[in-house]
Amino acid sequence: MFKMFAEPIQDGPLRARLQSARAGALVVFEGWVRNHNEGFAVEALEYEAFAEMALLEAEKILAEARERWAIEAIVGAHRTGLLQIGEIAVWVGVSAAHRGEAFAACQYAMDEIKRRLPIWKKEHYRDRPAEWVNCQHCATAPAHHTHHHSATDGARV
């Protein structure tokens, strides 16, 4: 199951879906909004989603994880709208008999969520105008822009 939330993510109902008497491990990843990125002070983040397609693509990712690893259940969620520092932007939980599978499936789902879901993030800074992350150097000029930056978990590609 994957859900989009326009309001703060409540993890109780998400965790409940991961309960299983066969599970000996639960791995949960939360992506939080942090207060800085690339040296700039971030005051808030705004997420916009093409929700219809994001949900379809997310369900594909969760199905792929279930196929690849022996897990009991996997659940994900993503926020939209304006988020303040410390709020949960993305949530993935995996239950499994053993921790190795749960860690691996969670890592896979997070990597693919970041790579494939049609979701965009506008960073609102304290000292300069807001920007759509990853889009500023994509103007109609050459620029081979491959680096990745964001004020959530800081994965760099």
Partner 1 sequence: MPEITIKYFAALREQAGCSEERRQTAVASAAELYRELQAEYGLSLDIQHLKVAINNQYCPLTQPLQNGDTVVFIPPVAGG
Q: Which residues bind partner 1 (CB under 8 A)?
A: 31, 47-50, 52-54, 56, 78, 89-90, 110, 113-122, 132-135, 138-141, 143, 145, 150, 152-153, 155
Both structure tokens of 62: 């969760």
State which residue, 72 or 151, has the beta carbon closest to partner 1: 151
Minimal distance in Å, beta carbon 61 to partner 1? Answer: 11
Minimal distance in Å, beta carbon 22 to partner 1? Answer: 29
Phi, psi of 120 (to 5 degrees): -125, 155
State which residue, 2 or 72, has the beta carbon closest to partner 1: 2
Are 90 and 78 spatial neighbours (Cβ–Cβ below 8 Å)? yes
Are 155 and 114 spatial neighbours (Cβ–Cβ below 8 Å)? yes
Q: Which residue has the tokens 């103007």?
A: 139
Minimal distance in Å, beta carbon 124 to partner 1? Answer: 14
Q: In sequence order, what are the residues at sequence separation of 6 or more whose Cβ sits closer than 8 angstroms to the Cβ of residue 37?
A: 123, 149, 150, 151
State which residue, 41 or 138, has the beta carbon closest to partner 1: 138
State which residue, 99 or 145, has the beta carbon closest to partner 1: 145
Phi, psi of 123 (to 5 degrees): -95, 130
Minimal distance in Å, beta carbon 82 to partner 1? Answer: 14
